Amino acid sequence: MKIVETAHEMKLAAPVLASSSIEVRNEALRRVKTALLSESQRIFEANQKDLIAAEKNGVNSAVKKRLIFNEKKLEDVVAGIDGLIGLSDPIGKVLLDRILDDGLELKRISVPIGVIGVIFEARPDALVQISSLCVKSGNCAILKGGKETKETNRVLFQLIKNAVVAAGLPEGCLFQAEAHSEIDELLQCDQDVDLLIPRGSNAFVQYIMDHTRIPVMGHADGVCHTYIDRDCDLEQAVSIVTDAKTQYTAACNATETVLIDRCIAREILPLLQAAFQEAEVAVRGDQEILPLLEEYGFHFPEGMEPLMGEEDYHTEYLDKICSMKLVDGVEEAILHINRFGSHHTDAILTENQKTAERFMQMVDSAGVYHNCSTRFADGFRYGFGAEVGISTSKLHARGPVGLEGLVTYKYRLYGHGQKVGDYASGKSQFHFRDV
Amino acid sequence: MKIVETAHEMKLAAPVLASSSIEVRNEALRRVKTALLSESQRIFEANQKDLIAAEKNGVNSAVKKRLIFNEKKLEDVVAGIDGLIGLSDPIGKVLLDRILDDGLELKRISVPIGVIGVIFEARPDALVQISSLCVKSGNCAILKGGKETKETNRVLFQLIKNAVVAAGLPEGCLFQAEAHSEIDELLQCDQDVDLLIPRGSNAFVQYIMDHTRIPVMGHADGVCHTYIDRDCDLEQAVSIVTDAKTQYTAACNATETVLIDRCIAREILPLLQAAFQEAEVAVRGDQEILPLLEEYGFHFPEGMEPLMGEEDYHTEYLDKICSMKLVDGVEEAILHINRFGSHHTDAILTENQKTAERFMQMVDSAGVYHNCSTRFADGFRYGFGAEVGISTSKLHARGPVGLEGLVTYKYRLYGHGQKVGDYASGKSQFHFRDV
């Protein structure tokens, strides 16, 4: 069946899934967990095939590491499912309950978004996480994972799909796309697909955004900043910046640019140089800071110009490379971040509460942090159980997107024959009262 | 100054407006109200010029009626501003407050969307409503009204802008575009404009959606349904349907299609015919219902084929014309509405609670109504004070969009030196606790 037909059938199944009880959706998750545990050998064998193919195809070691699905990964995804089962039902929540007039009651109630298309990287645990989140939130999902894990994904998806259908959820609630060409088909399904969540490289996400009329949730860039203020705790600042830059460089929430308050440059730079040398971080900077970086013996990246022009501050390295810049205090830091950042996650390091509040207020990002690492921007670390992605859009979900980001609401109005004409003519008046 | 430059400067002013206190924003609204009242003669004189020009240009009477800005309209907008002043601050609300671990606190806080472009029809009261909503919600706005009210808009805008700046809000927080060519310029400002709200014809809204990368809030179609169930109160049903169809036919929330439970067709049709004859409503229908409509003496539209094919049920008339169809109970009504509707507002008329709940649950629209008129879908009637529009999008705001739809949130994380590495290594554990 073509994706467009699958999506159309899913659209019809969506209200059925949306009206399923939380008991059935939790039972589905329990069955998924049982299936994964009892069929673990089949999953591991499929994963071996993917790993052997990756070896043969010369897939690089960073990607290969993500392909692995072993006992440890299984434990993690099962713990994730247990966490999800424990969370309260995100749908059917009464967000507003207002009497408009005698016998005319308005309720705003959370409902699933409907049909979601998720295109994600080659990571088998991502498939389990995403499908579990969609089941719990009552959303139908079309899933397309990276081709490097196709054997593992096929087994995982079959186990998951069978488990949720056996629990009583509609047959058409989950679908796995396998061919790359199906992505372009999916982009055309704006009549039936309510939301796309692409995960992957900037270029890929931008391609999705440019080629569909379906709303897209996610982010193309993750240019995160850490600003070191004059009033910081120097030792703490060095330790946080090092974590933010190096704890996992390939993540979108890794710090890419370190802004340093000009008046403490000569205090912090030697400490930072020692930490960066140990962590093997190379640096780049503009005409002002570059001589200082040279003076203190920082390491520069290979095959890349250490001198940065202004526009270079938009760069997301996803590597052990860091843009450096001196700024004239918190105000210039705010201007720089709002201009060159990607509105993802930005941190200030300072012991001055007033300076911190100014930064937290004025920086226009999904996450603004005080005295901690930008790497905390993550659904699990926010206590959301899991995430389908991180959104830099300001509409609807912003930041890590878990269950709450997968629901919207609808208004229900309960009346007893009320007509607008009576209110327009003045025969009736509204008497608003929140319940 | 070009729109692109205006938008860029506005983007820089946005965090300043966002951090203004509610006292200053309410004071700005009070000053707007005072200015409108004390300068009412100037406004009325400008409005006279627009009315004379409309007369000269042969503008049709429905549009001319909307151009009028008189004492009554002034009273209405002033009452609207008073209502807005009375509402609580939509920004700075703590939506989530969670301790992640000792000394690591996460807050989700509502913030303005930022810079909003609103393109609206030739109605001077709309300009006052929209700019007041943006001021109260801390959003910068680029406003483009219909050219037929350009003299009135110019005076109104100048009064509003001067009043808010005098109250202490940033100079660049409001801008009025006057040339039609500036709309296309505005569509290009995706770096600086966070949201577009187009109001107007379907074709116009669709044009906007197809020609910009900026998120668009609103709706292209308003194909609303009223389903008359076998268990309805017949007299009440006729009265509600008539209101829903005729109270204001040009509105997006007017009912366009009436679905009738097949088994009560011969009971309700004669009653409906009498009501529609009095209200001068013409009808159309498919092969099944058309002979019945003829038999009961319904009136058919001039210059339009009374026989409808399946795809014709997507039609939005915005006139005293109504599509009619028989369905086999609530299940077929749900399928029809989810397929042919525009997910705006749909009603069921029945005394059977179980049937009603099934409809309210399964119809996938921003508003689902029981025993009342679809015309209630309106920000004022929902008690939102005013609205910038009605959204059929499922992401972010859905239904009438008032203050709450004009804010989003950001996550603030307050730490004491926490690094992700410590949590990844197991040295630290999260201890999630909602405050």
Q: Does the beta-carbon distance from A209 to B209 stay under 8 Å?
A: no
Average pLDDT, chain A: 92
Residues with Cβ within 8 Å of A319's Cβ and at least 6 positions away in sequence, in order, are A249, A250
The pLDDT of residue B149 is 93
Which chain B residue has its CA at the smallest distance from A433's CA?
A: B383
Q: Does the beta-carbon distance from B15 to A338 stay under 8 Å?
A: yes
Half-sphere exposure of B222 (CA within 13 A, CB side): 29
Distance from CA of B399 to the nearest CA of A (A): 7
Q: Does the beta-carbon distance from B364 to A114 stay under 8 Å?
A: yes
**Residues shown for chain B:** 435
At A115, is the secondary structure helix, strand, or coil? strand
Cα distance from N-terminal residue to C-terminal residue, chain A: 48
Out of B248, B382, B420, name the one closest to residue A375 (CB). Answer: B420
Computed over its alpha carbons, how large is the radius of gyration of chain B?
A: 25
Distance from CA of A154 to the nearest CA of B (A): 29
Q: How confident is the model at residue B435 (pLDDT cuts 50, 70, 90)?
A: confident
| Contacting residues of B for A415, CB less than 8 Å apart | 369-373, 376
Determine the average pLDDT of the residues in B397-401. 79
**How many CB pairs below 8 A link A and B?**
237
Per residue in A243-280, pLDDT (tens digit) is: 999 999 988 999 999 999 999 999 999 999 999 999 99
User: ipTM score of the complex?
Assistant: 0.88
Best A410, A416, A427 member to test B by mutation, with max B CBs in 10 Å, is: A410
Out of A98, A408, A413, name the one closest to residue B370 (CB). Answer: A413
Tokens 């239904």 belong to B399
Cα(A320)–Cα(A317) distance, integer angstroms: 8
The pLDDT of residue A78 is 94
- Does residue B218 or residue B72 have the better pLDDT? B72
Task: Inform me whether the pLDDT recorded for A320 exceeds 80.
Answer: yes
Per the CB < 8 A criterion, the answer to whether B57 and B177 are in contact is no
Determine the average pLDDT of the residues in A301-329. 95
Q: How confident is the model at residue A317 (pLDDT cuts 50, 70, 90)?
A: very high
Q: Does the beta-carbon distance from A15 to B236 stay under 8 Å?
A: no
Which burial class, exposed, middle or buried, applies to A179 when counting CB atoms under 10 A from its CB (0-12, 13-18, 19+)?
exposed
| Contacting residues of A for B429, CB less than 8 Å apart | none
Distance from CA of A186 to the nearest CA of B (A): 18
Q: Does the beta-carbon distance from A114 to B373 stay under 8 Å?
A: no
Out of B106, B209, B370, name the one closest to residue A415 (CB). Answer: B370
- The rounded percent of chain A whose pLDDT value lies above 90 is 68
Which chain B residue has its CA at the smallest distance from A421's CA?
A: B247
Per residue in B135-183, pLDDT (tens digit) is: 999 999 999 998 999 999 999 999 999 999 999 999 999 999 988 889 9
Task: Inform me whether the pLDDT recorded for A388 exceeds 90.
Answer: no
Cα(A72)–Cα(B111) distance, integer angstroms: 40
Per residue in B38-97, pLDDT (tens digit) is: 999 999 999 999 999 999 999 887 788 889 999 999 998 999 899 899 989 999 988 888
The pLDDT of residue B394 is 81
| Contacting residues of A for B430, CB less than 8 Å apart | 381, 383
Tokens (6 digits) for A294: 């040279």
At A148, is the secondary structure helix, strand, or coil? helix
Best B17, B102, B372 member to test A by mutation, with max A CBs in 10 Å, is: B372
Distance from CA of B57 to the nearest CA of A (A): 31
Cα(B354)–Cα(B329) distance, integer angstroms: 13
